[in-house]
Amino acid sequence: MLNDSDYTSQFKTEATPPMKHILITGTSSGIGLSIANYLHGQGHRVLGTSRNAKNKSFDFQTLPLDVTDDASVKACIQEAIDILGSIDVLINNAGMGISGPAEDTTIEEAKTQFETNYFGVVRMTQAVLGHMRELNKGTIININSFLGIIGSPLQSHYAASKYALRGFTESLRYEISSYDIETTDLILGDFKTNFTTNRNEINRISPHYWSMYDSVMEVIERDEHNGADPILVSKLIAKLLRKKGKLKISYSVASPLQKSLLHLKGLIGDNLFENIAKRVWKL
């Protein structure tokens, strides 16, 4: 079971951090809601977002936002600046998942996955960078996944969107290094949220994949149902906002087993790791 000593590397923090102006995407439930509630409770000024913000009531203020829509993103960023005065921290949390064999997934279904998980982050980042550059300060935290490092059967496009996000974050760090703006990935393992319930299944699964689909998804959903409390992600972000010095490229918030798998893949290489992973997936 995860606890506070498992989920983060040790680093020095400020005892009394300054209050930050924070914009978080995807705060209607799950990890995003946990992050927003926790940072609000820590004394930061938090703006959350959701597609149906008017129908939500939280302790923090929410704005309407569809990260797949350029106009919605632009309007949200401007409204956030009007309300907060500045955006010190952007947390790109909004995400969704689809499951199904790669062969059966249509291009449109794959594009839907990328529009939220990858291009949604790109839109938000592009919209806020000019503002942060003018201030010569800012932090962008991208909520990534264990599957952005290690692929998974039946979640090929979800994994691909997270792999893409990893490359985006690493590349962006070079481009903004001359400004006092930082970005980092949070590599998350399994957490107990409504992500499992909300995962979309593709429209058609061929009969020759039925047996695999049932067995693999049983493993995936079991691990998610037994996942950790999202508060651990919230606590890590709070610590990162108090951290002295530069942020690393990524921080992992995963079970000891998942962290060991991440380490093992880098240690033994992709081909040997694949043989081990097949046993995990019962393939």
**Residue 38 bears catalytic tag:** no
* pLDDT tens profile 127-165: 999 999 999 999 999 999 999 999 999 999 999 999 999
Which of the residues 7, 38, 118, 158 is marked catalytic?
Answer: 158
Task: Identify the pLDDT of residue 247.
Answer: 96
Higher pLDDT, 201 or 280: 201
Task: Identify the pLDDT of residue 107.
Answer: 98
Task: Identify the pLDDT of residue 196.
Answer: 87
* pLDDT tens profile 54-98: 666 789 999 999 999 999 999 999 999 999 999 999 999 999 999
46 — pLDDT class (breaks 50, 70, 90) = very high
Q: Residue 193 to residues 30, 233, 234: CA-CA distances in angstroms? A: 5, 12, 14
- Domain map (residue ranges) of the chain: 21-280
Residue 147 CA to chain centroid, in angstroms?
A: 11
Cβ(229)–Cβ(164) below 8 Å: no
Task: Identify the pLDDT of residue 54.
Answer: 67
Higher pLDDT, 50 or 281: 50
* pLDDT tens profile 106-136: 999 999 999 999 999 999 999 999 999 999 9
CATH fold for the domain made of 21-280: Rossmann fold (3.40.50)
Highest mean pLDDT among 184-188, 221-225, 255-259: 184-188
Task: Identify the pLDDT of residue 73.
Answer: 98
* pLDDT tens profile 15-41: 566 899 999 999 999 999 999 999 999
Task: Identify the pLDDT of residue 204.
Answer: 96
Q: Is the whole-model pTM more than 0.95?
A: no
Task: Identify the pLDDT of residue 44.
Answer: 97
Task: Identify the pLDDT of residue 277.
Answer: 87
* pLDDT tens profile 236-254: 999 999 998 899 999 999 8
Q: What is the largest CA-CA distance in the chain?
A: 58
Residue 12 has pLDDT above 70, yes or no: no
Structure tokens at 154: 């039946």
- The mean predicted confidence, pLDDT, of the chain is 92
